[in-house]
Amino acid sequence: MTPDWRLDWAQIERQLRPLLPERAVVAKRQELLAYDCDGLTLHRHQPPLVVLPETTEQVAAVVRCCAELGVPFIARGSGTGLSGGALAEQEAVVIATSRMRKVLEVDLANERITVQPGVINSWVTRAVAGDGFYYAPDPSSQVACSIGGNVAENSGGVHCLKYGVTSNHVLAMEVVLPDGSVTTLGGSLPEMGGLDLRGVFIGSEGTLGIATAITLRLLRTPQTVAVLLADFASMEAAGEAVRLITGAGVLPAGMEMMDRPCIHAVNDFFGVDEYPREAAAVLLIELDGHALEVQESVELASRLCLEAGAGAVREAWTEEARARLWKGRKSAISALGRQFPSYYLQDGVVPRTALPKVLAAIERLSQEHGLAVANVFHAGDGNLHPLILYRAGEPGVNERVKELGAAILKLCIEAGGSISGEHGVGSDKRCYMDWMFSADDQATMQLVRKAFDPDGLANPGKIFPTPKTCGESLRRLVELKVEGVELPEGAAVF
């Protein structure tokens, strides 16, 4: 049914309430404020209605009702997303899965666990750690982000270098489709016959339906783990160390980098100088596996860091010592937020070999735009997370921030990379999709989307650019004085 934008939301609320438990519908204006943004705070859109289902059946009933009425709906997890994917830019029912927090099944014999989408990422490992297992994908927000949101964005994390992102660890999903029907994508085995619809759904950002039960692959806890902390006099030198280590065939479980602003913010946040204050950058390298393998890798990685110009390399072998080093990295964004309440976090990807050049270019762009940029990112796979720091009350600053963000993403593409590695496109980066994909590419993606959702009710307006949402952005990009920026062939400037 074609959406009717003049629907009576009071009437919609009356139709949804009988489908849900008591106090599972949020309609009061002051309570809806909690849902007007996600982790991306540049944009705020308050939804007219939020529902809090607890079971697959309740999700399906709500979605069926929306389909019958022609009402758009948006799935929302913990609200930690960073691309505006869970925002209600147009009037829609927000289906929040935060009450769906049950572990449905633990099957250690087959190294898997099935959970509802509202289960917090770190809870999965907590449920099986005592038996010698863990769940590998670990976004920095893992103590807050939900598995459903991780599936929607195909989230990564510190350990994605060696163990992959969410799509590498999801075996099957129970999914409510946009018409309210329920199906299963994937199966009990890592590889199933037929089209890989499981792979299509993961990373689709809520545009193909809502996952309500997710079967995850578990890994055995490694025998030995060590973490190295290397400090460098420049970001370029730290990037060179990354290139040398990966080029030598060493495969760390994780390899993370932080620059001086992050180092100082984290040290101040915790009141302890865990990282060398004089360093321009630090590199955290985690190595795991059998004891002899780890020892040899530690020696080689340490030597290569010193060869790249590291001032010192510190080793941490005990769980307590490793946790201290990782605590700062996991808390870096929060620490920076304490100093700069307003920040804009980007998510570009570049080849590892391009890291030194790209990091130097980001610094130049920062100076040109007069905005501070802090860098904390997954160096091992080139997934950059530059934080543009600003004061929200400064006149015209939002536009300058967006222009710098666009310039950084364009830089990533020119280096052979991507506009997103794990945060998704959402509403924040949809206007840059033309930089990566031709009109035919996007039309093909839209065919897949329409096959799942012919009426366009599931998270409308996300991922793909439209004249309405991106016309002004294209005009702004024409005005941007960014070297190498070119509009895609045939792009219209409205």
Structure confidence at residue 392 (pLDDT): 85
Average pLDDT, the chain: 92
DSSP H/E element including 294: helix 291-308
471 confidence band (pLDDT: 50, 70, 90): low
Residue 267 lies in a domain: yes
Residue 487 lies in a domain: no
Cβ(73)–Cβ(62) under 8 Å? yes
Structure confidence at residue 483 (pLDDT): 46
303 confidence band (pLDDT: 50, 70, 90): very high
The answer to whether residues 62 and 92 belong to one domain is: yes
Structure confidence at residue 473 (pLDDT): 54
Structure confidence at residue 337 (pLDDT): 84
The whole domain housing 232 covers 224-335
Q: Two tokens at 392?
A: 């929200």
The answer to whether residues 156 and 254 belong to one domain is: no
- Concatenated DSSP letters for 390-449? E-TTSTTHHHHHHHHHHHHHHHHHHTT-BS-SSS--TTTSGGGHHHHS-HHHHHHHHHHH
The answer to whether residues 36 and 120 belong to one domain is: no
* The model scores a pTM over 0.75: yes
Rounded CA-CA distance 239/352 in Å is 8
The answer to whether residues 169 and 268 belong to one domain is: no
Rounded CA-CA distance 160/163 in Å is 5
The answer to whether residues 272 and 356 belong to one domain is: no
Structure confidence at residue 6 (pLDDT): 63
Residue found by looking up tokens 């045939």 in the block: 490
Rounded CA-CA distance 228/231 in Å is 10
The answer to whether residues 421 and 452 belong to one domain is: yes
pLDDT surpassing 90 at residue 129 = yes
Residue 484 lies in a domain: no
The answer to whether residues 294 and 350 belong to one domain is: no
Upper half-sphere CA count for residue 216 (Cβ side, 13 Å): 33
Residue 4 lies in a domain: no
Cβ(268)–Cβ(260) under 8 Å? no
- Concatenated DSSP letters for 170-201? EEEEEEE-TTS-EEEEE-SSSS-SS--HHHHH
Structure confidence at residue 2 (pLDDT): 47
Nearest Cα neighbor of 256 from 333, 168, 149, 339 is 333
Instruction: Report the chain's terminal Cα–Cα distance, integer Å.
Output: 30
The answer to whether residues 136 and 24 belong to one domain is: no
Residue 400 lies in a domain: yes
Structure confidence at residue 9 (pLDDT): 95
The answer to whether residues 232 and 201 belong to one domain is: no
Residue ranges of E strands in 46-181: 49-51, 73-76, 93-96, 103-107, 112-115, 133-134, 170-176
Domain count across the chain: 4
Residue 417 lies in a domain: yes
Rounded CA-CA distance 425/384 in Å is 15
Averaged pLDDT for residues 278-301: 97
Q: Please tell me whether residue 37 adopts helix, strand or coil conformation.
A: coil
The CATH number of residue 280's host domain is 3.30.70.2190
Give the lowest-confidence range in 31-45, 78-92, 206-220: 31-45
pLDDT surpassing 70 at residue 212 = yes
In the chain, % of residues over pLDDT 90: 82
The CATH number of residue 372's host domain is 3.30.70.2740
Last residue of a domain, one of 312, 335, 358: 335
Q: Degrees (nearest 5) of the Cα angle 284, 79, 476?
A: 85
Query: 173 versus 3: which is more confidently predicted?
Result: 173
Residue 2 lies in a domain: no
pLDDT surpassing 60 at residue 476 = no
485 confidence band (pLDDT: 50, 70, 90): very low
Q: Which residues are CB-contacts of 293 (< 8 A; sequence separation ≥ 6)?
A: none
Rounded to whole angstroms, the maximal C-alpha distance in the chain is 69
Query: 2 versus 319: which is more confidently predicted?
Result: 319
The CATH number of residue 211's host domain is 3.30.465.10
The segment with the largest mean pLDDT, out of 72-81, 377-386, 471-480, is 72-81
The answer to whether residues 331 and 207 belong to one domain is: no
pLDDT surpassing 70 at residue 151 = yes
Last residue of a domain, one of 72, 96, 120: 96
Q: Please tell me whether residue 65 adopts helix, strand or coil conformation.
A: helix
pLDDT digits (tens, 9 = 90+) for 152-209: 999 999 999 999 999 999 999 999 999 999 999 999 888 888 899 999 999 999 999 9
Structure confidence at residue 482 (pLDDT): 44
Last residue of a domain, one of 317, 335, 353: 335
Nearest Cα neighbor of 210 from 172, 186, 175 is 175
The answer to whether residues 62 and 121 belong to one domain is: no
Residue 3 lies in a domain: no
Q: Two tokens at 154?
A: 């195909």
Rounded to the nearest 10°, the torsion over CA 218, 349, 446, 155 is 20
Amino acid at 403: E
Averaged pLDDT for residues 242-260: 95
The answer to whether residues 320 and 404 belong to one domain is: no
The CATH number of residue 13's host domain is 3.30.43.10
